[in-house]
């Protein structure tokens, strides 16, 4: 459902926010079918083809690092059009340097977590700015090229970003280049009616990108695109950030806990004591199963 | 035989339990209204109890009396059950089946019960659309013309002709009796119907009161003027069926307009059909403004007068309306370049029906907890950050040096990808349906789908009560949990039955859908068993009759 004003544009003008996972620990640990350089070259070719589809299309690239996130490319910024790829790579290098300087861990086990919530928030802020720029604007969508595993500590922030995207009617597409499915991005794509895809052949990443993710929002109403079988709706508990499907919920703010607590850490409400003299343990608030 | 002088609902409530143990009863009422109210209630009570059959009729009766409910409460509950099929099924299954008590069932639905006042129980009767056209009964023999005036017609006359209303309030009962008033009015109407304007003027000159009825209604013109000032000048030019002037002259009403040109002294006595029609239409569309009993003419007139007064006072005090109107005009007939920024379009927040998510839970069935589903093992080794960032930087500079490769992808790989995607999409389309909103559930036969969803909601209900009873602190909770456990164990064979009743191509999918329900039940049972063991270990001996 497009805001009425954007009808003044052609239907297929899009603003694509691409969130690239630049977590070095993930890229270091990946099994070799897709190296980072191959990945970046596929993405660059994809960005070029998006810009070729329509003269008014815009692309913005945000790098999702281990310690920080930043914009590394904006096609609407005035620059020499022949140097687009060069400037993107330049900015990417600078970003990696900055990210390293912010790094506080000397070493990390396994792939580590990238700051997806940060880059989602930055993308949504940019989109809001575009919305407020006037009646003429392209239809925005977000594409997450993600490989790092889900960081449970970011569950709340990511869910907030997802709901905000849903409310602004911005679809979040996800292309998973890592080894495992991402429950957060599955939920994101489901809730915002985006596309979730985990490519089988990472060599042909460019083909996946142009076939599935280059489609603009208007065309999606009559194109058949891949649909995932099911979505993992399980939540993560707020105390340990573990994924759970049965737990305790505070009846005031609906925060989820895996173990019994005396006080809710989010809203501060105190859980009451039992009324009878039979047991001395405090009465728990309603325990509900969390599997939907 | 019971004779009720005043309908007593408590009496009926107590009777209802006696009613369903057999026997016929005859009720006698004083007025039709009483009888109607009682009849509705009894019909609802019969429908409610009729389904349960004879054997269980005592239980709900006992439950009713235990709770000391007011009749309105009972009525409301019955109504809620009648309106929502799903709720009724759940109620029948649990409360009538003896698994939950009435109080427990409704305890989690307080919000539904609170919506008592929102709807009116009966439909309100609107005003008649028929204009009171003068078709008096005249018998050919004598010169008498009879007019029939019912309270309904009187109400309509007062609503449409404020001058008559004012005259009534002024003249009756001071100057003339009601009967005289209406006789005069009828005479005025008769004169109008003869279209003899000159005669009307003549009679008006003689009889002052008659003149009031014959002249044009000043109050009406004032009202019309006021309304015109408040009309929205922006016009929707789209033509619709209501703009059809061609087919029925005079909109089907019998009226003849006299085309003679008369002297100006007769002008005030002329009546225009279009004016009458417009006023009649406006009044009918406004609906019933007063809710007074129609029998007493005087009170009707006064009530209408009061309403009009209040409206007038409101309009005067509401000076903002004209300002709002001018704002609205400037907004609708807008010039885009001169407009400021407006609020963004947002999707409204809504709480979705959990049944929509039902089929998406299959994914949970396949993935055990804690495992994000990786088939490929990621090499878990410890990497220093310097190394990691360093290698990343190297890779970036590699691209800068070599640039994009040509071709970007090996054509064979690209072809494989494309055919894989196509196959994937067409197979899901085949299995799940064409539109992205269709799901597995829709492809199952309707009965199965209904059964599955119903089982799911009933399992949710049982589990809700089950989990809320822990920790078990009283004997009551203990018996409740036992009841619930027995009910839950009966669900397993039912689900198995559903699985077997489906065609073999769907069987796998149905078992995937059923899996989360079974998992939830299993978790509940595991908790129950663990709790029982803890208790028996604590008490050191097995309670009687326990397995």
Chain B interface includes A166 (CB < 8 A) = yes
Residue B96's nearest CA partner among B65, B67, B42, B54 is: B54
**Calpha distance A250→A261 (Å, rounded):** 10
Predicted confidence band at A278 (pLDDT cuts at 50, 70, 90)? Answer: very low
- Which pLDDT value is given to residue B477? 81
**Calpha distance B392→B374 (Å, rounded):** 24
Backbone φ and ψ for B271, nearest 5 degrees, come out as: -120, 140
- Which pLDDT value is given to residue A161? 95
What is chain B's alpha carbon radius of gyration, rounded to the nearest angstrom? 39
Using an 8 Å Cβ cutoff, are A154 and A117 in contact? yes
Task: Please write down the HEC assignment for all residues of B222-260.
Answer: HHHHHHHHCCCCCCCCCCCHHHCCCCCHHHHCCCCCCCC
Structure tokens at A52: 């070729």
Residue B472's nearest CA partner among B482, B461, B487, B464 is: B482
In DSSP notation, A17-83 reads EEEEE--HHHHHHS-TTS-HHHHHHHHHHHHHHHHHH-TT-EEEEEEE-SS-EEEEEETTS---GGG
Residue B344's nearest CA partner among A4, A149, A204, A140 is: A4
A175 bridge partner residues = A145, A197
User: pLDDT tens-digit profile of A20-57?
Assistant: 999 988 888 876 678 888 899 999 999 999 999 988 89
Contacts of B408 in chain A (CB under 8 A): 41-42, 45, 206
CB B417 to CB A278 under 8 A? no
Q: Say whether pTM exceeds 0.80.
A: no
Tens of pLDDT along chain B (547 residues)? 344 433 444 455 555 555 555 556 666 667 666 677 777 767 766 666 554 444 343 444 444 444 556 777 788 788 878 877 778 888 877 777 777 777 777 777 777 777 655 555 566 677 777 665 545 555 566 666 666 777 777 777 787 787 788 888 887 777 778 788 888 888 887 777 777 777 777 777 777 777 777 777 777 788 888 888 877 777 667 766 666 666 665 555 555 555 555 566 666 777 777 888 888 888 888 877 666 666 677 777 888 888 888 878 877 776 677 778 878 877 777 666 666 666 667 777 677 666 666 666 655 555 544 444 443 444 556 778 888 888 888 888 888 888 777 778 888 999 999 999 998 888 877 665 544 444 566 667 777 778 888 888 888 888 888 888 777 778 888 888 888 888 888 888 888 888 887 777 777 777 777 787 888 888 888 888 888 888 888 776 555 555 4
- Which pLDDT value is given to residue B501? 79
Locus of tokens 């990210």: A99
pLDDT at A105 over 60: yes
Chain A interface includes B68 (CB < 8 A) = no
Tell me which of B509 and A212 has the higher pLDDT: A212
Structure tokens at B533: 């063991």
Helix or strand or coil: residue B500? helix
CA of B381 to nearest chain A CA: how many angstroms apart?
A: 5
- Which pLDDT value is given to residue B59? 41
pLDDT at A4 over 60: no
- Which pLDDT value is given to residue A228? 76
Predicted confidence band at A154 (pLDDT cuts at 50, 70, 90)? Answer: confident
Contacts of B370 in chain A (CB under 8 A): 242-243
- Which pLDDT value is given to residue B3? 41
- Which pLDDT value is given to residue A141? 94
Locus of tokens 């310097």: B386
User: pLDDT tens-digit profile of A65-84?
Assistant: 999 999 999 988 866 677 78
User: What's the complex ipTM?
Assistant: 0.77
- Which pLDDT value is given to residue A21? 93
Nearest CB among B384, B414, B467 relative to A207 is that of B414
Chain B interface includes A86 (CB < 8 A) = yes
Contacts of B349 (CB under 8 A, 6+ apart): A167
pLDDT at A127 over 60: yes
Nearest CB among B374, B418, B470 relative to A180 is that of B374
B 365-424 residues inside an 8 A Cβ radius of A: 366-367, 369-370, 372-389, 391-393, 395-400, 402, 404-405, 408-410, 413-414, 416-418, 420-421, 424
């Amino acid at each position: 459902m497009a805001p009425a004003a954007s009808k003044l544009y052609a239907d297929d003008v899009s603003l694509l926010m691409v969130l690239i996972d630049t977590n070095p620990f993930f890229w270091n640990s990946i099994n070799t079918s897709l190296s980072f350089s191959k990945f970046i070259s596929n993405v660059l070719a994809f960005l070029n083809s998006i810009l070729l589809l329509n003269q008014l299309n815009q692309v913005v690239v945000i790098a999702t690092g281990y310690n920080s996130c930043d914009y590394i490319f904006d096609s609407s910024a005035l620059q020499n059009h022949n140097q687009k790829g060069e400037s993107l790579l330049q900015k990417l290098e600078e970003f990696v340097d900055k990210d390293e300087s912010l790094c506080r861990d000397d070493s990390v086990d396994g792939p580590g977590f990238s700051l997806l919530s940060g880059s989602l928030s930055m993308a949504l802020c940019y989109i809001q700015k575009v919305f407020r720029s006037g009646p003429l604007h392209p239809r925005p969508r977000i594409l997450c090229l993600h490989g790092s595993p889900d960081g449970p500590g970011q569950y709340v922030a990511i869910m907030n970003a997802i709901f905000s995207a849903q409310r602004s009617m911005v679809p979040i597409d996800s292309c998973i280049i890592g080894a495992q499915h991402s429950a957060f991005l599955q939920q994101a794509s489901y809730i915002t009616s985006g596309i979730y895809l985990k490519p089988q052949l990472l060599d042909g990443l460019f083909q996946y990108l142009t076939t599935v993710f280059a489609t603009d929002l208007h065309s999606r109403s009559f194109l058949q695109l891949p649909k995932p079988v099911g979505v993992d709706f399980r939540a993560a508990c707020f105390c340990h950030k573990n994924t759970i499907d049965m737990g305790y919920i505070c009846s005031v703010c609906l925060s989820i806990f895996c173990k019994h607590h005396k006080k809710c850490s989010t809203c501060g409400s105190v859980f009451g004591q039992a009324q009878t003299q039979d047991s001395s343990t405090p009465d728990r608030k309603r325990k509900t199963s969390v599997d939907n | 035989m019971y004779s009720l002088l005043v309908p007593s609902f408590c009496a009926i409530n107590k009777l209802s339990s006696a009613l369903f143990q057999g026997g016929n009863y005859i009720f006698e009422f004083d007025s039709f209204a009483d009888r109607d109210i009682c009849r509705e209630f009894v019909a609802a009570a019969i429908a409610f109890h009729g389904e349960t059959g004879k054997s269980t009729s005592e239980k709900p009766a006992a439950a009713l009396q235990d709770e000391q409910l007011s009749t309105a409460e009972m009525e409301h509950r019955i109504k809620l059950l009648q309106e929502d099929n799903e709720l009724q099924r759940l109620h029948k299954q649990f409360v009538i089946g003896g698994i939950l008590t009435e109080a427990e069932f409704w305890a989690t639905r307080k919000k539904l019960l609170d919506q008592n006042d929102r709807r009116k129980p009966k439909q309100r009767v609107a005003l008649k659309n028929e204009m009171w056209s003068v078709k008096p009964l005249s018998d050919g023999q004598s010169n008498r013309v009879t007019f029939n005036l019912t309270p309904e017609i009187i109400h309509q006359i007062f609503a449409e002709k404020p001058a008559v209303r004012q005259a009534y309030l002024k003249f009756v009962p001071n100057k003339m009796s009601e009967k005289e008033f209406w006789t005069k009015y009828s005479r005025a109407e008769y004169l109008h119907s003869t279209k003899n304007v000159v005669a009307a003027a003549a009679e008006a000159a003689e009889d002052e009161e008659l003149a009031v009825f014959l002249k044009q209604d000043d109050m009406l013109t004032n009202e019309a003027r006021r309304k015109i000032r408040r009309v929205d000048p922006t016009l929707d030019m789209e033509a619709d069926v209501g703009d059809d002037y061609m087919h029925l002259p005079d909109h089907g009403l019998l009226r003849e307009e006299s085309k003679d040109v008369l002297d100006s002294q007769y002008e005030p006595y002329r009546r225009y059909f279009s004016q009458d029609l417009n006023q009649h239409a406006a009044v009918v569309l406004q609906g019933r403004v007063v809710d007074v009993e129609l029998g007493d003419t005087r009170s009707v007139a006064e009530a209408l007068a009061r309403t009009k007064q209040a409206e007038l006072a409101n309009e005067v005090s509401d000076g903002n309306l004209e300002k709002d109107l001018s704002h609205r005009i400037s907004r609708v007939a807008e010039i885009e370049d001169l407009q400021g920024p407006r609020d963004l379009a947002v999707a409204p927040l809504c709480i979705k029906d959990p049944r929509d998510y039902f089929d998406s839970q299959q994914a949970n069935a396949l993935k055990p907890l804690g495992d994000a589903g990786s088939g490929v093992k990621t090499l878990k080794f410890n990497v220093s950050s310097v190394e990691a960032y360093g290698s990343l930087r190297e890779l970036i500079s590699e691209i800068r040096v070599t640039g994009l490769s040509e071709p970007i992808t090996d054509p064979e790989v690209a072809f494989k990808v494309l055919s894989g995607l196509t196959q994937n999409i067409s197979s899901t389309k085949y299995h799940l349906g064409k539109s992205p909103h269709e799901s597995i559930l829709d492809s199952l036969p309707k009965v199965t789908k209904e059964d599955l969803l119903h089982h799911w909601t009933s399992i949710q209900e049982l589990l809700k009560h089950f989990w809320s009873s822990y920790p078990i602190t009283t004997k009551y909770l203990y018996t409740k949990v036992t009841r619930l456990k027995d009910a839950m164990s009966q669900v397993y064979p039912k689900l198995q039955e559903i699985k077997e009743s489906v065609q073999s191509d769907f069987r796998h999918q149905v078992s995937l859908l059923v899996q989360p329900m079974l998992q939830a039940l299993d978790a509940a049972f595991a908790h129950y068993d663990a709790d029982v063991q803890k208790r028996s270990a604590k008490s050191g001996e097995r309670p009687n009759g326990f397995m």
